[in-house]
Chain A
Amino acid sequence: MSVGLRARPLRAALSALGIAIGTAAIVAVLGLSSSSQAGLLAEIDRLGTNLLTVEAGERLTGGKAELPLEAPARLTHLGDVEQLAHTGLIERANVYRSSLIPAAESGGLQVRATSLNLPAVLGTGVARGRWLNAGTAREPVAVLGAVAARRLGLERVYPDARIWLAGQWFNVAGILRPSPLEPDIDSSALIGYAAAERYVGYVRLVGGEGKAGPPSSIYVRTMTGHEASVQERLATTANPAAPNETSVSQPSDVLTARAAAAGAFDSLFLGLGVVALIVGAVGVANIMIISVLERRSEIGLRRALGATQGQIRAQFLGESILLAVLGGAVGVLAGIAATAAYAGSKGWAVVIPVEAWTGGIASALLIGALAGLLPAVRASRLPPTVALRTV
């Protein structure tokens, strides 16, 4: 059955290449989208879905609302809340690499006052240097989010690293790892509430006494499984006076949506794979038609040796299917290799959906059968005497 393929291996390989590329593209597209989804789901697993965020919303009359100063303390007492952290966005403060940078070039970075347990609650940690402690939280010391550090040109922490924050120098103590649940933290410079009060003037007067604040975002870890019940009570507890001026969200929802989006494969590339498959099918059909013309004397000889029409048809159809399936198998392996290489570089688990490789082989089989049908029928209908006539 493989006679025609072994007789001309280079030509067979080239004509199977189209099918190999097509199946490789399809398998890689499906494999990569599944692998990236698996990667995101693993990250969601690691970060947990029990984080809820309370933020200041809009006032009914327009303008930005504020959370009450005592909101974090109140939420601590809420049932099923395991721990919480909070940050206060200091809108009038900006952060620069040095005092010489024009004020307009703030780089889209934020300055936030933070509670000291923020990394633990968000499931992140310091990539370099140190997090704030009770001492440094009172001093002009900042910790940078991952994006903020990159934009400020601080890839590592050295002893006298400084940034220009709200009109004065702050030392940089550390750099955080990326925080997928709260991307806002990534682009922030974080300082202690005490430092914010003392150096930036982030303060509210309560009963004639200044207190640092108010917080703008409160991050609440609930007991696992109680997210919904806690979520219902968050707004009224945080701001009983105006519960509708707070917004409550579940950041893992965003990641879950991203995972779903990643799982939805790129239809453009899938389309390209299908086009490559069609081109490959035309290539196989082409080579089979040419091979029927070239192998007329072989067909005649086989008829003389006693091959029936059905046997000739089966031979050419079989060769076409074999060619296409070989191409498909090579393509599936290449697609898996490409997926494994890319997923490996991203640290994702390699996930090849069963439909991807079975579909690849099955479509190659189908293509081989379709592409070989016409040439095979032609070969079988060739009268033996015509086939034996030398050209």
Chain B
Amino acid sequence: MSTVLELDGVTKRYGEQPPVAALRGVSFSVRQGELVAIVGPSGSGKSTLLHVIGTLERPTSGVVRIGGVDAAQLSDRELSRLRAREIGFVFQQFFLAEHATARENVADGLLYAGVPAEERLRRADEALERVGLADRATFKPTKLSGGERQRVAIARALVGKPAIVLADEPTGNLDSATGASIMALIRELNAAGATIVMITHDAELADGLPRQVRVRDGQVVSDCP
């Protein structure tokens, strides 16, 4: 199995006087097909970690490699290209466009990947089918339940077949039953081959996943099994 994500001595400091260290030398790697939970209490630096992994923020020092490419060396344009093709994001707040249909929202996942519009919609339908929402394609997000919205967001993250999917508290805004069904979907997608890194503060939820990276005060305290 090849390594899709590799962090080596990553630090991140904010501000100048005095600098606040959010990450203090984080190193771990994720291989293709893994399902990893990054778990820690609030303030542990896990959100910053997700941003750095997702190339939305550059680390102060250290190396982040995605698919073997060192993200620190890339320009804004190259980073954008990397995000468009190799990384899929799932957010706690879904971030769906309310005036657009579920299909259009999913198709937006390919908006910046250089895929023609017709092809985007066709692949959006496929992705919606994978998350079990084929019959909701023409619904607007306001007509969907919270769980359905998160499924649309997951479909959007998957539609470009990225090397890695980053999920930030994907069940954080959902009730426990709906959250469980989303977790089941995530496991299912992982079983079908998707590499998924999920951030959560919920240790119980994390324990249900094959691998847990525990973070506290900007450092990895355990990586098991």
Contact = CB atoms under 8 A, between A and B. Distances in A.
Whether chains A and B associate is yes
Given A303-B80, A305-B108, A306-B81, A388 B113 contact: no
Interface stretch (B26-34, B94-102, B143-151, B186-194): B94-102
Contacts of B113: 306
Contacts of A310: 77
A307 interface: yes
Interface string B59-89: 0000000000000000011001111110101
Nearest to B78: A308
A86 B57 CA distance: 95
Nearest to B92: A390
Contact of B84 (A3, A6, A297, A306): A306
B95 A311 contact: no
A305 B84 contact: yes
Nearest to B96: A301
A354 to B, nearest CB: 36
Q: Which of B80, B99, B100, B111 has the most CB of A within 10 A?
A: B80
Contacts of B156: 305
Given A383-B57, A384-B56, A388-B56, A308 B97 contact: no
Nearest to B75: A308
A7 B98 contact: yes
Interface in A260-317: 297-298, 300-311
Contacts of B218: none
Q: Which of A297, A301, A310 has the most CB of B within 10 A?
A: A301
B45 interface: no
B112 interface: yes
A302 B108 CA distance: 9
A385 interface: yes
B77 A303 contact: no
Given A384-B56, A388-B91, A305 B109 contact: yes
A311 B80 CA distance: 10
Interface string B160-187: 0000000000000000000000000000
Interface residues of B, number: 27
A390 B57 contact: no
Given A3-B97, A6-B99, A301-B95, A306 B56 contact: no
A309 B109 CA distance: 17
Interface string A378-391: 00000111001010
Contact of B56 (A6, A298, A304): A304
B112 A305 contact: yes
A306 B54 CA distance: 11
Contacts of B98: 7
A383 B48 CA distance: 13
Contact of B54 (A3, A6, A304, A390): A304
B99 A306 contact: no
Interface in B83-130: 83-85, 87, 89, 91, 93, 95, 97-100, 108-109, 111-113
A309 B83 contact: no
A305 B56 contact: no
Interface of A: 3, 6-7, 297-298, 300-311, 383-385, 388, 390
6 contacts: A301-B95, A305-B109, A305-B112, A305-B156, A308-B76, A308-B77
Given A298-B95, A304-B56, 19 more contacts: A7-B97, A7-B98, A7-B99, A297-B93, A297-B95, A298-B97, A301-B91, A305-B89, A305-B111, A306-B80, A306-B82, A307-B84, A310-B77, A383-B57, A384-B51, A384-B57, A385-B51, A388-B95, A390-B93
Q: Which 6 A-B pairs have the closest CB atoms?
A: A306-B84, A306-B112, A308-B80, A384-B56, A306-B83, A301-B95
